[in-house]
Amino acid sequence: MIGRLNHVAIAVKDLAASTALYRDTLGARVSQPLPQPEHGVTVVFVELPNTKIELLEPMGADSPIARFLERNADGGIHHICYEVDDILAARDRLKAQGARVLGSGEPRIGAHGKPVLFLHPKDFCGTLVELEQA
């Protein structure tokens, strides 16, 4: 059911320093910072040949990323995103198998303008999983 790895999201405290690390130390192509107030984050996309890394900096104290960074002071992998062909069919199949879909269970528009859902980390090996409509 799941397809390509769309991105790995890394929570960071200092977006400018983290962007410089990926650009200058690791030699990656990076985007400009993209504020996403509806998700409480500012994002930089790191473009790799086969996938993307998203650097997420919290926007505001009640950002979910701010809470993550309270527990992970150095930052860390926040979620991984898999593509699915049909997000509603994927959701229904997962729910039927007992997986927990976060929030209302209705897809929201994610960072790339496509519908996304998040799955409970306790149901997926301790990793927050995002599904994105391919």
Catalytically active residues are: 130
CB of 53 to Co ion, least distance (A): 10
Burial class (CB in 10 A: 0-12, 13-18, 19+), 80: middle
Measured from the CB atom, the residue of 25 and 84 that comes closer to Co ion is: 84
Specify the 3-state DSSP secondary structure of 65.
Answer: helix
Q: Is 9 in the site for Co ion (CB under 5 A)?
A: yes
Q: Which position among 81, 117, 128, 129 is part of the footprint of Co ion (CB under 5 A)?
A: 81
User: Nearest Cα to 50, choosing from 4, 84, 18?
Assistant: 4
Measured from the CB atom, the residue of 25 and 42 that comes closer to Co ion is: 42
Q: What is the DSSP letter of 59?
A: -
CB of 75 to Co ion, least distance (A): 15
Which residue shows structure tokens 């997926």? Answer: 124
Site string for Co ion, 115-134 (x = CB under 5 A): ---------------x----
Q: How many residues sit in the footprint of Co ion (CB under 5 A)?
A: 3
Measured distance CA(2)–CA(88) in Å, rounded: 13
Q: What is the DSSP letter of 101?
A: B
Binding site residues, Co ion, CB under 5 A: 9, 81, 130
